Amino acid sequence: MGQGKGLKNRGNKRGDVAERLAAVSEETGTEYRAIADYGFDPELASKNIENMIGVTQVPLGFAGPVTINGEHAKGSFLVPLATTEGALVASVSRGMSVATAAGGITARVLSDAMTRGPVFRVDGIEHGIRAVAWIEGNMAKLKDVAGATTNHGRLLGIRPFLNGRNLFLRMSYHTADAMGMNMATIASEAVCAAIAEGTGATLVSVSGNVCTDKKPAAINSILGRGKTVVAEAFIPKGLAEARLRASPSAIAETAMRKNLVGSAMAGSLGFNAHAANMVAALYIATGQDPAQVVEASSCFTTCESDGDGLYIAVRMPSVEVGTVGGGTRLPTQSEALDMIGCKGAGKAGKLAEIVAATVLAGELSTLAAQAAGHLGKAHGELGR
């Protein structure tokens, strides 16, 4: 269609975008007023999209305020959430309000490493073992090779997985405040070239799926990918009953039977109520890669009840976020990052803690609603 009408893959200058949209409109017989209505120079999106014809706008709201007691995120935050699901923002706000009244949400980043997992072809097991030994003996050289491709990233380590004539290498990188997939890929290509030269192994693909990117995978749940983040809160019994309309014991039982037993019976890699809801809304709002909601959905939500109240915690082994590069450069996404003080260098850990705290708040509210039998009522009133 486009090239047939003389519209080649050109940049995102406003004239090019308008011309391209006109061609699409002619081809489909539909007029696109809303798609054509946007308020920024499309050249700003030149590194984010090809064949741009306009924008898709998603409603943006905020949840909070929420008090976060993190290592990087400290204080009170209004959290931007972009979603079309009614009741989501209200539910997260309720969880935030209760957690804040209880003293806030504690969050910490436990580890930080983006991965790329190339696959090599080797002659057999002995060749694979020799290749692994060469890699282990030349790590300093390989780190230098990776470092030469980037000013901000560095190779942390390589974990081998040998399977017959397949040698998988899960390479881990520190990528500073970028999400880091492109950085890790470019560095891995250079490292793989050095490994092929030094071992005689043949690179088949720079991504062999042990990374694992944008697919549910136990390896990410166990080893982590991006930032592994934990968050916790303690809700006193009286506060839970007054504000959540459910007892701590009922919420804890719901979490155990639903998140743990139910998920295990289903073979799920996500042991949570709806972590992907909060992650998707926050990722879209702040210019993250929304496909990586897949990894973030492998969240573990646990609850414990004692005589005094409810302890709730989330473990998120794969929070892949950045505060520089990618979609964070776009105007509305940049402003959303500004809303939570996460724009620019030195803020990725802070954003990761805010993600975990937001997920915990959403989990708390939804588990309480299910324990109290109020979930359908809330969606009926707000989500229709």
118-205 has the same fold as 61-111+220-382? no
Active-site hit among 152, 174, 374, 379: 379
pTM of the predicted model, to two decimals? 0.94
Among residues 248, 231, 146, 131, which one has the least CA distance to residue 187?
146
Active-site hit among 19, 43, 85, 241: 85
What's residue 14's pLDDT?
A: 84
Res. 302 pLDDT band, cuts 50 70 90:
very high
Tokens of 242: 């007054």
| pLDDT digit string, tens, across residues 183-242 | 999 999 999 999 999 999 999 999 999 999 999 999 999 999 999 999 999 999 999 999
| pLDDT digit string, tens, across residues 27-56 | 999 999 999 999 999 999 999 999 999 999
| Contacts made by residues 27-34, CB under 8 angstroms, sequence distance 24+ | 27/1
What's residue 61's pLDDT?
A: 98
Tokens of 127: 């060749």
What's residue 7's pLDDT?
A: 52
According to CATH, what is the number of the domain 61-111+220-382?
3.90.770.10
Do residues 122 and 135 make contact, with C-beta atoms less than 8 angstroms apart? no
Pairing of strands 202-205, 119-121: antiparallel
Average pLDDT (311-317) is: 98
| pLDDT digit string, tens, across residues 353-373 | 999 999 999 999 999 999 999
Backbone φ and ψ of 169, nearest 5°: -125, 110
User: Is residue 85 annotated as a catalytic residue, yes or no?
Assistant: yes
What's residue 12's pLDDT?
A: 78
pLDDT at residue 374 tops 80:
no
Question: Mean of the per-residue pLDDT values for the chain?
Answer: 95
Average pLDDT (309-314) is: 98
What's residue 382's pLDDT?
A: 64
According to CATH, what is the number of the domain 118-205?
3.30.70.420
- Residues above pLDDT 90, as percent of the chain: 93
Average pLDDT (161-171) is: 98
CA angle 36, 40, 46 (to 5 degrees): 90
What's residue 9's pLDDT?
A: 57
| pLDDT digit string, tens, across residues 79-104 | 999 999 999 999 999 999 999 999 99
- Cα–Cα distance between 321 and 226 in angstroms, integer? 7
Q: List the domain boundaries for the chain.
A: 6-45, 61-111+220-382, 118-205
What's residue 376's pLDDT?
A: 64
User: Is residue 338 annotated as a catalytic residue, yes or no?
Assistant: no
User: Is residue 19 annotated as a catalytic residue, yes or no?
Assistant: no
Active-site hit among 43, 253, 289, 335: 289
